[in-house]
Amino acid sequence: MVSRQVLIALLLAVAAASSAATVLIVNYRNTGIPALTEEQRAVREKFFGSEKELPPITEGQEMRPRW
């Protein structure tokens, strides 16, 4: 039977290899993705609204529950 130390070392090696493979795959996929083009950015701002800060709310419903 395999000793406990060999089994732990093997499990640690597998965990390290899988972690390294995951990091390499994620980094490889992100390098080919370009940032948003100006057209896509304009469409996003038109759909979701601009990134301007909203004015403060002066009168509105209070957020705390009334128990």
User: Which run of H or of E encompasses 59?
Assistant: none
**pTM of the predicted model as reported, rounded to 2 decimal places:** 0.44
Q: How far is CA 12 from the centre of its chain?
A: 26
pLDDT beneath 50, residues of the chain? none
As a whole number of angstroms, the distance between CA 27 and CA 17 comes to: 15
pLDDT confidence of residue 42: 86
**Percent over 70 (pLDDT), the chain:** 88
As a whole number of angstroms, the distance between CA 39 and CA 47 comes to: 12
pLDDT confidence of residue 15: 97
Per the listing, tokens 């996929």 go with 29
